[in-house]
A and B are shown apart, each in its own frame.
Chain A
């Protein structure tokens, strides 16, 4: 697992990390430590944590804890792992060609992909954009079916 990354289990902790990460991208991974997809992503995150450390902070959120459920509802988390990006307590959206722009669902293919995504978010945020385009080519973006409410 990742000993480098902090795991958050309480709403207060999440609040404080969102509020205290100033001028850096905050990467929050929502998932379970036991899930294979999450483990894959966690591995990537912990390996690249140092490389992005100057402009990003990474943290993990355990979705099984009680306190966190409100966030799970608020962020509409239905598939895991889900990664949500914040900048200065504002949520950053990324258009990667999928249905859900508010979060990144699934893992990444390589560390570099993750770093590219975080960099794109950072650059957009520094320019004042709240939604950025995904720098990865389509084949490297994990596809998923989103639950559509009307179906």
Chain B
């Protein structure tokens, strides 16, 4: 029996290093025992069911392969919890293609097994978290047939269309860059374009108006973060235009610099137009669209005339009333603290209550009997006292009376200190 007890004790004494359980999202030092705890089991089932729901989406696409449009690509990211890896769909042509391939891969299966061992999942349900190779093969066949079906219906091959031809990220293939050779950007002329808003239009608008603008400087997609810091003086002359023509697919930076120029041109010509939408510019140099040609309404004002922003007007009433409320309530709370009950046991609570009442009465104009005479002293516990504070005050009163008598007989040697009170000397003489 003793041996058994010892063994138990020994087992409990074994200490483990702290580990992180990503299912429960906490650190623990129980080592392998952790996965059998009920809390962990609960978290694990929740965790796996969440992942299962994501897998269900992917399985849907496994059965019904569909073409993946590039603009949807960014939405189709998938985090595999077993491999701790992000799987995105940037370069895939079918929905969830990368995810499907990942889930069928050997590495994933290995990671899955490791996870189940570590966190104690059901080993026989392993197939729920992976895709069998047979399914993948079927899926690929379906994909190919899709491609072949779509091909004859278009002049261009389907793959090209599916490929991100309009994708702004895919700059090399983009028509923009090819057009740079043809650009005839003239900074001086662009300065004169009036009534044009500073913002370039957004990507989707560019695509809409794409067909109409061939020779223009295509700076729309690249001006998301227009650089404002370039001073207006530093006009770059036609030299830059020359440089542009000589360079082949331009790296991103140079594109920004070109956009700056056009931006600058626009901003100098800006006169308080409207927002960004719609009508293309009449100036041939660049792709700035203009909102309605009607003059800006003067009633509301705008940033340049110093008018209030539209959201402010809308919420003005709410804002003002909201402002008033907190201020008034804070004033009240400062003086009274209604609703916030202070500890009745706090130091000097009785005094505080009495005093508050007195103050209120004074505010109302009543004359309060003030017990604050000239000889009032606060409640003070003295340094060398023993006993209650009232006693110390009595002592003090006694000493105050004795003071004029004792002053003349100071027997205690005067230690040179910045400030020595007579009371100390008196105390010394008294205690002796």
Contacts and interface: CB of A to CB of B under 8 A. Distances in A.
Contacts of B420: 78, 147
A79 B383 contact: no
A101 to B, nearest CB: 8
B346 A125 contact: yes
Contact of A89 (B359, B378, B421): B378
Contacts, number: 120
Interface in A93-121: 93, 100-102
Nearest to A54: B334
B368 to A, nearest CB: 12
A78 B380 contact: no
B5 interface: no
Given A88-B348, A147-B424, A78 B417 contact: yes
Contact of B380 (A75, A88, A124): A75
B13 to A, nearest CB: 36
A130 B346 CA distance: 9
B374 interface: yes
Interface string B340-368: 00110111110110011001000000000
Contact of A128 (B347, B418, B431): B347
A63 interface: yes
A56 interface: no
Nearest to A12: B374
Given A72-B421, A73-B422, A88 B396 contact: no
Interface residues of A, number: 43
B388 to A, nearest CB: 11
Given A78-B420, A78-B424, A80-B419, A88 B347 contact: yes
B372 interface: yes
A18 interface: yes
B159 interface: no
A18 B422 contact: no
A77 B421 contact: yes
Contacts of B378: 15, 18, 86, 89-91
Nearest to B432: A150
Given A73-B396, A78-B424, A128-B345, A89 B380 contact: no
A91 B379 contact: yes
B355 A19 contact: yes
Contacts of A102: 380-383
Contact of A127 (B343, B427, B431): B343
B15 interface: no
Contacts of A125: 346-348
Nearest to B412: A149
Contacts of A47: none
Contact of B347 (A75, A87, A146, A149): A87
Contact of B421 (A19, A78, A90): A78
Contacts of B379: 89-91
Nearest to B396: A74
A129 B347 contact: yes
Given A91-B389, A93-B381, 10 more contacts: A20-B359, A73-B400, A76-B421, A78-B418, A90-B378, A90-B379, A91-B378, A100-B383, A101-B383, A147-B424
6 smallest beta-carbon distances between A and B, as pairs: A88-B348, A128-B345, A90-B348, A125-B347, A88-B352, A149-B427
28 contacts: A15-B376, A16-B372, A20-B359, A23-B352, A70-B400, A72-B419, A73-B396, A73-B423, A74-B382, A74-B396, A76-B384, A78-B421, A79-B417, A88-B346, A88-B348, A88-B351, A88-B352, A90-B347, A91-B379, A101-B383, A102-B380, A125-B348, A126-B343, A127-B343, A127-B345, A128-B343, A128-B349, A149-B384
